[in-house]
Structure 1
Amino acid sequence: MSQLDDLNLFLMTVRHQGISAAAKAAGMPRSRVSRRIQELERTLGCQLLIRTTRHIELTENGRMLYEQILSPLDTANQAMLRLKERKMQMAGSLRLAVPAAVGSSERFINMIQLYMQRFPKVNLEVFYQQRSVDLQRERIDIQLLPSEAEVINLDYVRQSLLPFPCCWAAAPAYLARYGRPEDEGDLQNHSLLASRHIAASLQHDLSFRFRTDDLHLVQQLTCQGMGIGLLPKVFVQGAGEDCPLELLFEARGAIDVGLSLIYSSRTFMPEKTREMVELIRETFSHLG
Structure 2
Amino acid sequence: MLNLNDLRFFVVAVANGGFAAAGRALGVPKSTVSKRVAELEQALQARLVYRSSRSFTLTDAGRDFYEHARAALIEAEAAQEAVQRRVAEPSGTVRITASVPTAQQYLAAHLPALARAYPRLHVQLEVSDRMVDLVQEGFDIAVRSHFAPLPDSGLVQRPLAVEAIVLVASPAYLGAHGAPVSPVQLSVHDGLLTGPAAATWRLSGPGGERVEVAPLPRMTVNESMVLLGAAMAGLGIVPLPEALCRAALASGQLVRVLPDWTAGSVTTTLLMPARRGQLPGVRATVDFLVQCLQPGAAAAPGAQ
Give the TM-score band, short-chain normalised: 0.5 to 0.7
CA RMSD of aligned residues (A): 4.0
2 CA distance for matches of 1:188 and 1:168? 14
Encode CA deviations 1:233-277: one digit per residue, 9 max, x unaligned.
112212277661101112533211122221112675322221221
Q: Does the 8 Å contact 2:97/2:128 carry over to 1? A: yes
Taking structure 1 as reference, are residues 157 and 264 closer, same or farther at Cα in structure 2, changes over 3 Å only? same
Q: Does the 8 Å contact 1:97/1:140 carry over to 2? A: yes
Encode CA deviations 1:199-258: one digit per residue, 9 max, x unaligned.
499533536443434322211111111211211111221227766110111253321112
Report whether the alignment pairs 1:206 with 2:207: no
Aligned residue in 1 for 2:164: 165
- Select which of 210, 216, 234 maps to 2:225: 216
Taking structure 1 as reference, are residues 246 and 130 closer, same or farther at Cα in structure 2, changes over 3 Å only? same
Aligned residue in 2 for 1:65: none
SS of the residue corresponding to residue 229 of structure 2 reads helix
AA matched with 1:178: H
TM-superposed CA distance for 1:167, in Å, is: 0.1
Taking structure 1 as reference, are residues 216 and 117 closer, same or farther at Cα in structure 2, changes over 3 Å only? farther
Q: Superposition pairs for residues 55-94 of structure 1, below 5 Å?
A: 88-94=88-94
Report whether the alignment pairs 1:255 with 2:264: yes
Aligned residue in 1 for 2:180: 181
Encode CA deviations 1:49-94: one digit per residue, 9 max, x unaligned.
xxxxx9xxxxxxxxxxxxxxxxxxxxxxxxxxxxx99975534432
Aligned residue in 2 for 1:286: 295
AA matched with 1:216: M
Q: Does the 8 Å contact 2:163/2:241 carry over to 1? A: yes
- Select which of 218, 224, 227 maps to 2:236: 227
1 CA distance for matches of 2:249 and 2:185? 27
Aligned residue in 1 for 2:246: 237
Q: Superposition pairs for residues 90-169 of structure 1, below 5 Å?
A: 90-105=90-105, 107-130=106-129, 132-145=131-144, 146=146, 148-151=149-152, 153-154=153-154, 156-169=155-168
AA matched with 2:214: L
Q: TM-score, normalised by structure 1?
A: 0.59
Taking structure 1 as reference, are residues 251 and 101 closer, same or farther at Cα in structure 2, changes over 3 Å only? farther
TM-superposed CA distance for 1:179, in Å, is: 1.6
2 CA distance for matches of 1:249 and 1:139? 45
Q: TM-score, normalised by structure 2?
A: 0.57
1 CA distance for matches of 2:160 and 2:200? 17
TM-superposed CA distance for 1:164, in Å, is: 1.7
TM-superposed CA distance for 1:140, in Å, is: 0.9
Q: Does the 8 Å contact 2:199/2:214 carry over to 1? A: no
Identity score, percent: 19
Q: Does the 8 Å contact 2:159/2:269 carry over to 1? A: yes
1 CA distance for matches of 2:107 and 2:240? 16
AA matched with 1:185: V
Gaps of 5+ in 1: 1-15, 17-53, 55-83
Higher mean C-alpha deviation, range 236-245 or range 133-142: 236-245
Encode CA deviations 1:183-204: one digit per residue, 9 max, x unaligned.
2222232222244599499533
Gaps of 5+ in 2: 4-38, 40-83, 203-211
SS of the residue corresponding to residue 90 of structure 2 reads coil
2 CA distance for matches of 1:251 and 1:212? 25
Question: Which structure has the larger Rg?
Answer: 2
